[in-house]
Amino acid sequence: MSSALAIYLTQEAPASYWNPKSNLVFGENKAQIILVEDEAENLRRIQKAGRTLDNTGAVTIEAAGSDWSLERQWALSQGFTSTLSTNQVIWNKTDEPAVKELDAMREATRFSRELTNLSAEEIYPESLAQRVTEHFKALAPDAISAEFIKGEALKDAGWMGIYTVGRASQHAPGLLVLDYNPTGDENAPVETALIGKGITYDSGGYSIKPSEGMLAMKCDMGGAATVSGALSLAIRRGLNKRVKLILCCAENMIDGRAYKLGDIIRYKNGLTVEVVNTDAEGRLVLADGLQAAGEFGAKQIIDAATLTGAAQMAVGNEYNALFSVDEVAATKALANADKENELLWRLPLAPWHSENCPSAFADTANSRPQKGGGAGGASNAAGFLLRFAPNSGKGWLHFDLAGAYQKSATSMWATGATAAGVRTIAATVQGD
Q: Where in the chain is the domain with CATH 3.40.630.10?
A: 110-430
Contact between residue 421 and residue 403 where contact means Cβ atoms under 8 Å apart:
yes
pLDDT tens, the chain, 432 aa long: 468 999 999 988 887 788 888 889 998 889 999 999 999 999 999 999 999 999 999 999 999 999 999 999 999 999 999 988 789 999 999 999 999 999 999 999 999 999 999 999 999 999 999 999 999 999 999 999 999 999 999 999 999 999 999 999 999 999 999 999 999 999 999 999 999 999 999 999 999 999 988 999 999 999 999 999 999 999 999 999 999 999 999 999 999 999 999 999 999 999 999 999 999 999 999 999 999 999 999 999 999 999 999 999 999 999 999 999 999 999 999 999 999 999 999 999 999 999 999 999 999 999 998 877 788 899 999 999 999 999 999 999 999 999 999 999 999 999 999 999 999 999 999 986
How would DSSP label each residue in 66-134? Answer: S---HHHHHHHHHHH--TTS--EEEPPTT-HHHHHHHHHHHHHHHHHHHHHHS-TTT--HHHHHHHHHH
Q: Is 266 a residue of the active site?
A: no
The catalytically annotated residue of 197, 283, 332, 387 is 283
The catalytically annotated residue of 44, 131, 155, 209 is 209
Q: How many CB atoms lie within 10 A of CB 330?
A: 19
Q: Which residues contact 226 (CB under 8 A, 6 or more apart)?
A: 112, 196, 304, 399, 401, 404, 419, 420, 421, 422, 425
Q: Which residues contact 123 (CB under 8 A, 6 or more apart)?
A: 115, 131, 200, 218, 221
CATH number of 110-430: 3.40.630.10
The model carries a pTM of 0.97
Give the SS3 label for residue 296: helix
> How far apart (Å, rounded) are the C-alpha atoms in residues 193 and 242?
9
Q: Which residues contact 207 (CB under 8 A, 6 or more apart)?
A: 261, 277, 278, 279, 280
> How far apart (Å, rounded) are the C-alpha atoms in residues 230 and 425?
6
Q: Is 283 a residue of the active site?
A: yes
